[in-house]
Amino acid sequence: MILQQFQTVGRDLFDSGLIYSQSGNLSLRLGDRLIITRRGSRLGSLQEHDLIETGIEKNDRSTPLASIELPVHRAIYQHTPALAIVHAHPRHAVTLSLAEEEFVPPDTEGQVTLGQIPVLGWGSEVTPGGLADVIAGALKERKIVLVRGHGSFAIGQLLEEAYSYTTVLEASCQISCLLRTIRTKPPTE
């Protein structure tokens, strides 16, 4: 059943264009342990060996196989009530994260579902697995955050819930990008 949850959300992320090839990662909390996708796994076609179980607080022999984002997932589980995390690389969201320190959805769905979304990592070096405490701190009060030039981290009680927040974010960012295109067109004569 757990593998099926990972497979469904991983495939949906890939099919929706919210990740590419071997990007992004997923995890579920199970008490003081977590299951996270393997380093370099392809979320669009996950298999049993792509799921790595390890500790939230400490390393074990499986830890080296886990996603490079493991420190971020651990910090989120340590500081929030989240039971699931989706880290994706939505194109429009990443694009806007390079231009804005905060994203305010222009559409009603985005405003109601997500509210204002901080873009973390301005003035810092952004690396995979970095900014763990900053990301976790921001997710104490939000469902999703953006990391400058890197992607989004969404939390939920289920992988499907975190995936839903990711899709709403990307749709809102796409609308924002389209609005900018319309507003920058020269007036017609």
Sign of the dihedral through C-alpha 161, 164, 170, 172: negative
Q: 46 near 40, Cβ under 8 Å?
A: no
| pLDDT tens digit sequence for 13-59 | 999 999 988 889 999 999 999 999 999 999 999 999 999 999 999 99
Helix-then-strand count for the chain, H and E: 6, 8
Res 14: pLDDT? 95
Task: Please name the residue that has the structure tokens 């999703």.
Answer: 144
Q: 3-state class of 170 per DSSP?
A: helix
Q: 165 near 113, Cβ under 8 Å?
A: yes
**Whole-angstrom Cα distance, residue 127 to residue 32?**
26
| pLDDT tens digit sequence for 146-188 | 999 999 999 999 999 999 999 999 999 999 999 988 876 666 6
For all residues of the chain together, what is the average pLDDT? 94
Res 133: pLDDT? 95
User: Which of 70-74, 125-129, 140-144, 167-171 bottoms out in mean pLDDT, i.e. has the lowest?
Assistant: 125-129
Res 76: pLDDT? 98
| Burial of 108: CB neighbours in 10 Å, binned 0-12, 13-18, 19+ | exposed
Res 188: pLDDT? 63
* pLDDT at residue 81 tops 80: yes
Tokens of 133: 């405490």
* pLDDT at residue 101 tops 90: yes
Q: 74 near 34, Cβ under 8 Å?
A: yes
Rg (CA), the chain: 17
Please give the model's pTM, rounded to 2 decimal places.
0.94
Give all domains of the chain, ordered by start, each with its CATH number: 2-184 (3.40.225.10)
3-state helix, strand, coil in the chain (%, to 5): 40, 20, 40
**Whole-angstrom Cα distance, residue 57 to residue 7?**
26
Per cent of the chain over pLDDT 90 is 88
Phi-psi group of 7: left, alpha or beta (phi > 0 → left; psi -120 to 50 → alpha; rest → beta): alpha
